[in-house]
Structure 1
Amino acid sequence: MENSKVNISHISGSAVSFNNDNNSVSDGYGMFQSKEQILASSKSQEVENGKALNGHHGDGHPHVVTHPTSYADTMLHLFRGNIGTGLLAMGDAFRNGGIVFSPIVTALLGIICVHAQHLLLNCSEEMHLTSKRDRPPGFADTVYLVFKNGPARTRSMAGTMKILVNGFLCVTQLGFCCVYIVFIANNVKMICDQYNIHIDLSIHMIFVVIPVILACMVRNLKYLTPFSTIANIMMATGVAVVVYEATQDLPPVHTREYIASWQQLPLYFGTAIYAFEGIGLVLPLKNEMRRPEKFQKPLGVLNLGMVIVGSIFITVGFLGYLKWGDNVLGSLTLNLQPGKVLSNVVQALIALSILFTYPLQFYVPVAITWPAIQKKFGATHPVAKELGYRALLVLLTFILAESIPELGLFISLVGAVSSTTLALMFPPLIELVSRSQQPGGIPKHIWVKDCFIILLGLFVFVTGTYESVASIVRAFQV
């Protein structure tokens, strides 16, 4: 980028900052999984208009925050970050899990994911003390510092592990973008079909990608802020109507499968982890709080917020599968009664919401990958080359979306490939490396617990990826 820093004062209350130092996006960035990004600098943030909060993390290090957020603000951001396309896919997840199996396992998965988020937060705080940085490090740098300060045999792996985390973050975000294109195109097709405008889904994707490319030409996040607010309102309205429709004329529970076949279960796990994968969100949310110590308390933002989010996931998934059964689709909006004006309005609102969200999700892979490319190829005409690179990345997501137009299977694949790695494998791994340096080594119960979570992540990764790909192949053979 032409400017070395882009400081965004306010995206729904959260400070945003990039730094192109060291050819990478600033440490400390994370993402709102379905709504918006928070990209926070690992170095001291510039104080906008002289306004900042000088607090402490309880460790003696100054904590400088532009526009600090309250408990309620942070809770709202947590909701916004976790409620999106993953929520609307929970009906399909419950179809692949079963109406009794899915609620129980979804609650357990939520507990495990939140525990993993606590592990990441604890390791970040520990590395903050060890490295004496101005701010706690973000996801990638936490992993890097844990390995760098770990046993001698792990130190050479530090750089590789940081690259892996950033790589999986890019894959996750670009995967979300692919899902968004399929999601928008499916909803637009449903609306057009009601007015006897019958166009192939792939053509709808071509129409969708044009405004997406134009939106992604915006290089400064502050110009996207109003669209983020509009997207939040549209999504909330749409989800409320979908839930209302799902509660009408429900059949008996015994008419649904209590537990699905073992071939379907990996698809359930992939979609459920996709919905819960907001681990990149927790560090920036905590760092932007006026009183960050309230984030991890027993009744703090993380625990209380995720209990509410998990309850919403279970409720929507249960109602969606109970209402539509085996006919439930990859997004509950696609199950709304055709021909009704309300259905068309809801589909349009949520499609627009996701369209406005795409550039925000797209910002992370650009911020991670562009600085290194700019250093090598951007000596002349850097702005034009960055815009060209952005267009190429959008076209990449479009090609992938065209290749896998099955929305439910695509969501399960993204969840299995990248979300499980970030949410279930890296946090317990860095806890094991960190604990190994403490006197007495790693306690046995920590070994057992962390190995169980890592093995669960590996199971979902392998089986979910295999079954998603196999299901996609079968879908093309029909």
Structure 2
Amino acid sequence: MYGRPTRSFIDFLTLYGHFGGEDLEEIEEEEEEEEEEMEEEMEEEEEDEEAAVGVPGRQQKRSGAGVPGPLASLRRAASERTPLLRNRSSGMKEHGDATVTQAVMMLLKSFVGTGVLFLGKAFYNGGILFSIITLCFIAMISLYSFLLLVQCSLVIPGSFGDIGGTLYGKYMRLAILCSIVLSQVGFVAAYTVFISQNLQAFFLAVTNCKTYISIALLITAQTIIFLPFALIRNIQKLSGTALVADVFIVVGLIYIFSNEIALLAKRGIADVELFNSKDFPLLIGTAVFAFEGIGLILPVAESMREPQKFPRVLTGVMVGTMLLFAGGGALGYLTYGSKIQTVVFVNLPQDDKFVNASQFLYSIAILLSTPLQLFPAVRIMENGIFAAQKSGKRSLKVKWEKNAFRTVVVVVCALIAWFGAADLDKFVSLIGSLACVPLGLIYPALLHLKACARSRKQKAADIALIVFGAVATIYTTKQTVRFVLMPRLFRRGAWRRPPMRRLLLAVFGFGPVC
């Protein structure tokens, strides 16, 4: 029932090679080389066996002889080493062999990451009561949208983008893929800022404020570290770093929650508001950001031995994740109140060596898991840009063009991170509003409306979700951009220029009166 842990984790990484149901694995460049090496090993063993029993040589076999029993066994063993999800081009199985427990673990790994650490500040932005209600509401409508997408995949087989392309044409497929790319790049940029702020606080703490490293320098250092990982084409080679990252994340979360509970019991509830009328739009984008995991819904569903159980599995995981996130966000806000930081580690006692160790390990954990988040975005863009040239296995020019492209993507992520570094909570909200809301709410409802909705009730529910998603995207994006840009414009005096004043009035509905 529980499966083999190591293989299960490798299978989880393989899901990123089928992110959103897309075929993102570079079989031609990496796995073909491994298959060739395996075939050479099998041929050598075959020759040894033939020599031992006096069977005709390899040339005779190639001219029409059957495959010997031992070689067939080796090939069967090799096939058993393949992951739960095969590449679509080689005929992905309709169903995999993942158990319910393995599916639960895969879903938990896809949902639980850094999002929970941003929720303390998000609860401050929304207020304790409004935040709990909104977070639970976002969790439930996200679950509903995920189930809509699964229903669509049963009617129209294919990836998230394929379903959109079949129903609405190539531009819908392009919109879905662009949203996936935008969300993943946004995640990478947000993680980069998170790591930078964490490490900056760590170095200040362990050196008694004698060593200050700027955020820009820490982002640059991460960029240098990310570059070699970004050039990896076989996602399973990231298994070691991702497994270590998961262990560090669990340790960090346990320590944060235990520390907050101890402080809350000792000092009581901090200053909290039930509703923050000023900053509440920031909560909505952050909540959607926290629950974003739609890219792995179809791959996990396809990997299950009993896919009919997937809706119940997904529902259980989403309810559990909702309770974890709501509890974590409320606990952080109740403990620190208005003093809550975007990165909750900064609120912990900085003179505590165990805090420093946890802070450092958690930063390393996110650092190691970031390349995994970048992988789907890079492969989707490569499939579009280098579709005609295909593999770089036999063309050094194509291979280095792809390497250069991946380098540019990493640098762009670093620049986006640098732009959002001053306001991480607002930056996370912007990613959630602009990329995650359409991806997680609008597109599934649009697909279900055309593919599956038959009754008036179903159509009304889909239309309501589309309208809600569109309004949420426009309003929260507008408000978040306003929160991010306005302080910078006032500081730099850009608002004094007449064109800028007109733009502010037209887009945001207000501007300085003088």
Q: Shorter-chain-normalised TM-score: which range?
A: 0.7 to 0.9
Tell which structure's C-alpha radius of gyration is larger: 2
- How far apart are the structure 2 equivalents of 1:246 and 1:38? 42
- How far apart are the structure 2 equivalents of 1:79 and 1:9? 16
What is the CA deviation profile of residues 199-228 of structure 1, one whole-angstrom value per residue up to 9, with x for unaligned ones?
A: 222122112221111221222212111111
The answer for the alignment partner of 2:211 in structure 1 is 197
- How far apart are the structure 2 equivalents of 1:278 and 1:17? 12
RMSD: 2.9
| Aligned counterpart for 1:119 among listed residues 130, 148, 172 | 148
CA contact (8 A) 2:270 2:336 kept: no
Q: Secondary structure at the match of 1:198?
A: coil
Return 241-250 or 86-95, whichever deviates more.
Answer: 241-250
CA contact (8 A) 1:54 1:64 kept: no
Is 1:158 paired with 2:175?
no
Deviation at 1:293, TM superposition (A): 1.5
Deviant stretches of 4+, over 4 Å: 8-11, 37-40, 52-55, 251-254, 375-380
The answer for the alignment partner of 2:161 in structure 1 is 140
| Aligned counterpart for 1:417 among listed residues 434, 443, 446 | 434
The answer for the alignment partner of 1:153 in structure 2 is none
Give the letter for the 2:201 counterpart: M
CA contact (8 A) 1:26 1:39 kept: no
Is 1:368 paired with 2:410?
no
Return 112-121 or 331-340, whichever deviates more.
Answer: 331-340
The answer for the alignment partner of 2:302 in structure 1 is 287
The answer for the alignment partner of 2:252 in structure 1 is 238
- Shift in alpha-carbon separation, 1:443–1:252, aligned structure 2, 3 A: farther
Give the letter for the 2:143 counterpart: V
TM-score, normalising length: structure 2: 0.76
- How far apart are the structure 1 equivalents of 2:15 and 2:294? 19
What is the CA deviation profile of residues 394-416 of structure 1, one whole-angstrom value per residue up to 9, with x for unaligned ones?
A: 00000111112121111101000
- How far apart are the structure 1 equivalents of 2:123 and 2:25? 31
Give the letter for the 2:14 counterpart: V
Q: Secondary structure at the match of 1:50?
A: helix
What is the CA deviation profile of residues 114-153 of structure 1, one whole-angstrom value per residue up to 9, with x for unaligned ones?
A: 010000000001113xxxxxxxx221112222x1xxxxxx
- How far apart are the structure 1 equivalents of 2:238 and 2:83? 25
Deviation at 1:12, TM superposition (A): 3.5
| Aligned counterpart for 1:214 among listed residues 221, 228, 235 | 228
The answer for the alignment partner of 2:317 in structure 1 is 305
Instruction: Give 1 or 2: higher strand fraction.
Output: 1
Instruction: Give 1 or 2: higher helix fraction.
Output: 2
What is the CA deviation profile of residues 237-276 of structure 1, one whole-angstrom value per residue up to 9, with x for unaligned ones?
A: 1011111111123265583100111x41210000000001
* Structure 1: tracts of 5 or more residues without a match: 1-7, 20-24, 31-36, 41-45, 56-60, 129-136, 148-156, 437-441
Q: Secondary structure at the match of 1:16?
A: helix
The answer for the alignment partner of 2:407 in structure 1 is 391
TM-score, normalising length: structure 1: 0.82
Is 1:229 paired with 2:240?
no
Deviation at 1:435, TM superposition (A): 3.9
The answer for the alignment partner of 1:460 in structure 2 is 472
Residues matched between the structures, number: 422
What is the CA deviation profile of residues 271-329 of structure 1, one whole-angstrom value per residue up to 9, with x for unaligned ones?
A: 00000111111110111112211111xxx210111111110000000001111112212
| Aligned counterpart for 1:432 among listed residues 429, 446, 449 | 449
Identity of aligned residues (%): 25
Give the letter for the 1:319 counterpart: L
Deviation at 1:10, TM superposition (A): 6.5
- Shift in alpha-carbon separation, 1:49–1:10, aligned structure 2, 3 A: farther
Matches within 5 A, 1:62-141: 63=93, 68-128=97-157, 137-141=158-162
- How far apart are the structure 2 equivalents of 1:10 and 1:247? 33
The answer for the alignment partner of 1:249 in structure 2 is 263
CA contact (8 A) 2:143 2:318 kept: yes
CA contact (8 A) 2:19 2:296 kept: no
* Structure 2: tracts of 5 or more residues without a match: 1-5, 28-34, 36-75, 86-90, 492-514
